[in-house]
Structure 1
Amino acid sequence: MAKKSGSPTVAAESEGKPLDKKSARTRVRILDAAAQVLSAKGYAGMRLSDVAEVAELQAPAIYYYFPSRDDLIEEVMWVGLADMREFLTKALEVAPADAGAMERILIAVETHLRHELEISDYTTAAIRNAGQLPDNIRDRHDAEEKKYGALWRDLFKAAAETGELREDLDPYLAQMLVMGTINWTAEWWQPNRATIDRVVANAQSYVRAALSPAS
C-alpha cells in the first residue's frame, strides 16, 4: 500500500540552491521515491537505480539534486522526523482543552502509529533505519530526534506531576519503553493481519493499562 509523502514544503527545500517550481517538484519526486525504497529495503539495500525507477528518472539526474546516495538518505531521514514532529505538535494543539495528561499520551500514541504505518514513507524509513546510519550523516537526524523526544518527555513529565503515571515508574524509562514498542510496530505490522484502527486501539489500551495507577 503506497503511503503519502512527507511535507512537500520541507522536501522541496534545497540547501544553497534555489529551485524553480519544476525542479522543486522533481526534487520532491526523488525524495518520495527514496523514502519508499528506503522504508522497504533499508539503508544497506537502497540503490539509486531503484530510486530512479520509482521516480521515473534516469539515475544520473539524481546527482543534480543530491551529491551522493548518503546525502539523499540523510535528507529522507530528516524529513521523516521533522514531519512527524510537526504532525504530533499539531495533534496536541487541537486536543480537547480538558484532555488529561494520560489522554495526551494516548493521542501521541495514535498520531505516531498512524504517521509511521499509514501516512508517511519518510517516517517509516526514519524509524526503521535510525540505527543503520553512518556517523557522517547522523547530525541532523539526531538533532531532530531529540526535538521529537522532547515532546514525549513533556507528556510523561506532566503525567507524573498530575498523578496519572504509576509512582513506581520512572517517567523517562516509561517513555522510552512506550516509544520503543510503537516504533517496532513498523517491523511486524501487515495490513492483512489487522487494520490501523485495531492496532491503534490495542496500543492505546495497552499503554493506558501499563502506565496508569491502579484504581
Structure 2
Amino acid sequence: MDELIDAASRLISLQGYDRTSVRDIAQAVNLTSGSMFYHFKTKDDLLEAVIRKGIIDGLAFMNQALDLAPGGTLNRFHALVAAHIGVVQGELRHFHRVWTREWDRLQPEARLRLRPLSEQYRELMNALLHSLAAEGHLHSDIETARHLLLPGLNWTPTWTSLKDKASQATLAEKICATVLNLPVDAFSDLMHAETTTGPGHRRTID
C-alpha cells in the first residue's frame, strides 16, 4: 500500500488531482484499476492517505531536526526553517506539494480528520516565533510573520533548487536573518553566541 501512496503522490504532484486517473496510479505500480479499490474505496480516500502520510512524515522530519539542533531559540528556528526547505525540496516534496495544492479537494470530513495533524507544524513555528519575540529577536507581529514565512518557504522550489543539506542550511540562514531584519553574518554570530552563552542571548545593536 505504501508503494501505491508513493506513486499517487508523485503523479498528483506532477499532473494535479483532476488530471491523474485511477488507471494512471494503478499502472505506475503494475496493478489493474479494479485492484486498487481493494486498498482504497475511492480516489478521494487515496488523496487523504497521500496527504496524511505527507503530514506525518513531514512532522517527523521537522521534529528530528529540532531534536538535533544545538539548543537555543535561534538555532532551533534555523533548524526548523532548514528542515522545511528540506521537505519541500527533498524526498517528501511530492507529498508536500499535494498537501498544499490539493487540500481543498479533500472531502469536508477528511479535512476535519486531518486538520489536527496539519495544525501541529503551524504550532511548532508559532511557538518558536513567540520565543524569538520574548527573547528580543523578533519585533514584528508574530501572526503576520508566520503568515508570510510559511508560504514563502513553500514556494522556494519555484526560484531555487537545493538538494544538499549544506545549501539548504545556507538558504535557511538568509531567510531567518531576513525575518529578524538582520545581516546574515549577524544572525550567524548570534547563533554561535547562543551555543556558547546559552539560550536567551539577546540581539544587540552597536
TM bracket (short chain): 0.7 to 0.9
Give distance in 2, aligned partners of 1:51 and 1:173: 39
Q: Deviations over 1:74-117 (max 9, x none)?
A: 110111011111111111012113xx322211211110111121
Give distance in 2, aligned partners of 1:155 and 1:70: 34
Give distance in 2, aligned partners of 1:55 and 1:137: 25
Asked which structure has the greater CA Rg, the reply is 2
Q: Equivalent residue for 2:101? A: 128
Q: What amino acid is the match of 2:4?
A: I
User: Contact conserved, 1:81 with 1:144, CA < 8 A, in 2?
Assistant: yes
Gaps of 5+ in 1: 1-26
User: Contact conserved, 1:102 with 1:208, CA < 8 A, in 2?
Assistant: no
User: Is the counterpart of residue 33 in structure 1 residue 7 in structure 2?
Assistant: yes
User: Is the counterpart of residue 162 in structure 1 residue 162 in structure 2?
Assistant: no
Q: Equivalent residue for 2:79? A: 107
Q: Equivalent residue for 2:37? A: 63
Count, aligned residues: 182
Out of 199-208 and 121-130, give the one that drifted further.
199-208
Name the Cα RMSD after superposition: 2.1
Give distance in 2, aligned partners of 1:207 and 1:132: 32
| Mapping for residues 69-148 of structure 1, pairs under 5 Å | 69-97=43-71, 100-120=72-92, 121-148=94-121
User: Is the counterpart of residue 45 in structure 1 residue 14 in structure 2?
Assistant: no
Partner SS, residue 37 of structure 2: helix
- Residues 1:30 and 1:189: Cα distance change in structure 2 (over 3 Å): farther
Q: Which segments of structure 1 move beyond 3 Å, counting only runs of 4 or more?
A: 131-134, 194-200, 212-215
Give distance in 1, aligned partners of 2:54 and 2:104: 15
User: Is the counterpart of residue 201 in structure 1 residue 177 in structure 2?
Assistant: no
Give distance in 2, aligned partners of 1:101 and 1:94: 13
Q: Deviations over 1:145-171 (max 9, x none)?
A: 1112111111111111111112xx111
TM-score, normalised relative to structure 2: 0.79
Give distance in 2, aligned partners of 1:64 and 1:82: 23
User: Contact conserved, 2:4 with 2:29, CA < 8 A, in 1?
Assistant: yes
Give distance in 2, aligned partners of 1:36 and 1:42: 10
Deviation at 1:42, TM superposition (A): 2.0
Give distance in 2, aligned partners of 1:175 and 1:103: 17
Q: What fraction of aligned residue pairs are identical, expressed as a percent?
A: 25
User: Contact conserved, 1:164 with 1:212, CA < 8 A, in 2?
Assistant: no
- Residues 1:42 and 1:151: Cα distance change in structure 2 (over 3 Å): same
Deviation at 1:209, TM superposition (A): 2.4
- Residues 1:128 and 1:87: Cα distance change in structure 2 (over 3 Å): same
TM-score, normalised relative to structure 1: 0.76
Q: Equivalent residue for 1:177? A: 148
User: Contact conserved, 1:106 with 1:208, CA < 8 A, in 2?
Assistant: no
